[in-house]
Amino acid sequence: MEIKKVKSIRAFAPASIGNVSCGFDVLGMAVEAPGDEVELTLTSDQRVTMKKIYGDSGRLPLAADQNTASVAVQSFLNSINSSQGVEIILHKNLPLGSGMGSSAASSVAALVAINHLMNEPYSKKELLTFALDAERIACGAGHADNAAPCLLGGCVLVRDYNPLDIVEIPTPDRLYCTLVHPHLEVKTADSRRILRKMISISDAVTQWGNVAGLVAGLMLSDYPLIGRSLKDVVAEPIRSVLIPGFDEVKAAAVQAGALGCGISGSGPTLFAFSDALETAERVGKEMKNSFLKNGLESDVFVSKVNKEGARIIE
């Protein structure tokens, strides 16, 4: 049987900052760049296949039941009882195991594409459940703090999973994100395993005071409050041990004018917020220099908060 290509589309989904420092496992924020792109083609074959992946140096699985993009699309098709054939080409621009929401970006781009090609049976928010199926493959747990902001854009609170309660937190206009990805890899599962199972009530109170401060700061466009609230006493003290030079790089960011700085997701990427583009670029330069002094090359990405989320680009 000859497989016919019916319709084709291309979608983009951005990197995201999981946790946003104090908001461990509940907050995430999308940036404008970088992001993954997916080319999705409907075929007459009744299978979902990964045709090609660019940019991963051959490290991601092509097996359809193991790649987050194809798992998400399969989950989507199952929900509408469709046996539509789909061919996926993934342009992997986000580094793997970087803490930038790489796995979520691939599945979300694929979901936005298939939803578009199938005449939008779902809202963006509704697509999240399929992205979570994919996150289970990638991270062993269906966390939404990357997938939700990647889909919807902006800063997103995942208040609850039963049922899923997603709250979009407005963000101020002059908030610039610097992402600095040092060339080392931390697996989410490893980074999660080293965390403590119990924490002191005093640390917990400090943390939710900061979470409240961060949400209020974002909504009030109170940049100094955002900066004061970017403190994580729960995950950062432990996870930072896996990032050589963490304390110095963070100090360099603040010294260069950043409002605050923390680990993006489970690391090793660090993020910093600034209230001006110029500052955000200077912050990136100083963080990169500081990583270099610790023997690590790194890539720097500077952009605004992405207010739109994943989108069709072609």
Q: Of all helices (H) and strands (E), which one includes residue 188?
A: helix 188-193
Q: Measured from the CB atom, is 96 or 167 closer to a second copy?
A: 167
Nearer to a second copy, 9 or 261 (CB): 261
Pairing state between β 48-54 and 85-91? parallel
Nearer to a second copy, 25 or 45 (CB): 25
Shortest distance in whole angstroms from residue 253 CB to a second copy: 21
- CB closer to a second copy, 5 vs 196: 196
d(CA 226, CA 52): 41
Euclidean distance between CA atoms 275 and 271, whole angstroms: 14
Closer residue to a second copy, CB minimum distance, 80 or 220 = 220
User: Cα separation of 40 and 10, whole Å?
Assistant: 6
State in angstroms the smallest separation of the CB of 139 from a second copy: 16
Instruction: Identify which of residues 165 and 314 has a Cβ nearer to a second copy in the complex.
Output: 165
Shortest approach of a second copy to residue 75 CB, angstroms? 24
Instruction: Please identify, using beta-carbon distances, which residue of 63 and 238 lies nearer to a second copy.
Output: 238
CB atoms within 10 A of CB 43: 19
The Cα 165–Cα 157 span in angstroms is 8
- Residue 173 to residues 53, 151, 280: CA-CA distances in angstroms? 35, 19, 14
DSSP secondary structure code for residue 95 in this structure: P
Q: How far is the CB of 241 from a second copy (least distance, A)?
A: 17
Report how far residue 36's alpha carbon sits from residue 113's, in angstroms, rounded to the nearest whole number: 12
Measured between alpha carbons, how far is 275 from 232 in angstroms, rounded to an integer? 20
Minimal distance, residue 155 CB to a second copy, in Å: 10
Q: Residue 47: which residues within 8 A CB-CB, separation 6 or more?
A: 64, 85, 86
Closest approach of a second copy to the CB of residue 159, in Å: 4
Closest CA to 192 of 247, 262, 267: 267
**CA separation for the pair 271, 266 (Å, rounded):** 12
C-beta closer to a second copy: residue 20 or 114? 20
For a second copy, give the closer residue by CB, 25 or 185.
25
State the minimum distance, in angstroms, from the CB of residue 169 to a second copy: 6
Report the Cα–Cα distance between both ends of the chain, in Å, rounded. Answer: 29
Cβ of residue 94: shortest distance to a second copy, in angstroms?
A: 25
Q: C-alpha dihedral over 303, 96, 13, 27, to 10 degrees?
A: -70
Which residues in this chain contact a second copy in the complex, by CB under 8 A?
A: 22-27, 157-160, 165, 167, 169, 195-201, 204-217, 219-220, 225, 228-229, 234
To a second copy, the closest distance from the beta carbon of 219 in angstroms equals 5
